[in-house]
Amino acid sequence: MPTDAIGISISEVSATNNGGSVSIASDGLSLLYSPAADFFGQETFTYTLSDSTGTSTANVTVQVFPVNDNPDAVNDEFENVMEDSNNVLLDVLANDSILPDANEDFSVVSVTQGDQDGSVSIGNAGLNVIYTPKVDYTGQETFTYTIRDDNGGEDTATVTITVLSENDAPVAGNDALNVPEDSVDYVIDVLANDTSHPDPDEELTVIGIGGTSKGGVATVAQDGKSILYSPAPDYFGIETFQYTVSDGNGASATAIVTVTVDDVADAPDAVDDSFSTSIDSPGDELDVLDNDTSDPDGQEPLTITAVTATTEGGTVSITGSGATVTYIPPSGFTGDDSFTYTITDDDGLTDEALVQVAVANYFPGGLSGYVYIDSDDDGVHDSDELILANVEMTLTGTDFQGDGVQLTTVTDARGKYEFTNLKPGDYVVTQEQPQHLVDGRETTTATGTTSENSISVSVGQGESVAANNFTERGRSAESLSLLDFISQTPDPSLYGSFGTSRDEQWVALDSTWQQYEETEVIWHLESHTLIINVTDESDQQETAVLSWEAGDPVRQMHTDMENLIQVSGLPESFGFEPVDDSTGDDTDDSNDDDTGD
Domain assignments of the chain as residue spans, ordered by start:
12-64, 76-164, 175-262, 273-360, 365-474, 489-578
The share of the chain scoring above pLDDT 70, in percent, equals 92
* Beta-carbon contacts of residue 93 (< 8 Å; ≥ 6 apart): 106, 107, 108, 127, 128, 147
Element (H, E) at 45: strand 41-51
Predicted local distance difference test score (pLDDT) of residue 584: 39
What architecture (CATH level 2) is domain 175-262? Answer: Sandwich (2.60)
Question: From the CB of residue 341, how many other CB atoms can be counted at a distance below 10 Å?
Answer: 23
Residue 209 has pLDDT above 70, yes or no: yes
Section 329-334 average pLDDT: 96
Arithmetic mean of pLDDT over the chain: 89
Does pLDDT of 232 surpass 60? yes
pLDDT at residue number 297: 63
Q: Which stretches of 96-204 are DSSP H helices?
A: none
515: closest CA among 569, 581, 418?
A: 581
Structure confidence at residue 489 (pLDDT): 44
Query: For residue 219, what are the contacts with CB-CB under 8 A and spacing of at least 6?
Result: 209, 227, 228
pLDDT tens across 537-552, in order? 888 899 999 988 888 8
What are the tens digits of pLDDT across the range 370-413?
999 998 888 888 888 899 999 999 999 999 888 899 999 999 99
Are β-strands 454-459 and 350-360 bridged in parallel, bridged antiparallel, or unpaired? unpaired
Chain segment 344-374, per-residue pLDDT in tens: 999 899 999 999 999 988 888 999 999 999 9
Upstream peptide bond of 492 is cis (omega within 30 degrees of 0): no
Residue 72 predicted with pLDDT over 80: yes
- Is residue 373 within 8 Å of 471, Cβ to Cβ? yes
CATH 3.40.140.10 fits 273-360, yes or no: no
Looking at residue 231, the DSSP 8-state letter turns out to be P
- At 462, the pLDDT band (50, 70, 90 cuts) reads confident
What's the per-residue H, E or C state across 536-589? CCCCCEEEEEEEHHHCCCEEEEECCEEEEEEECCCHHHHCCCCCCHHHCCCHHH
* Burial bucket for residue 185 (CB in 10 Å: 0-12, 13-18, 19+): exposed
Is residue 498 over pLDDT 80? yes
* pLDDT tier for residue 590 given thresholds of 50, 70 and 90: very low
Phi-psi label, residue 527: left if phi above 0, alpha if psi -120 to 50, beta otherwise: alpha
Please tell me if the domain spanning 175-262 has the same topology as the one spanning 365-474. Answer: yes
What homologous superfamily is domain 365-474 in, according to CATH?
Answer: Immunoglobulins (2.60.40.10)
Mean pLDDT, range 257-272, rounded to an integer: 94
Least confident of 113-117, 461-465, 491-495, 507-511: 491-495
Architecture of the domain delimited by 76-164: Sandwich (2.60)
Q: Does residue 339 or residue 496 have the better pLDDT?
A: 339
If one compares 167 and 252, the residue with the highest pLDDT of the two is 252
Residue 17 has pLDDT above 60, yes or no: yes
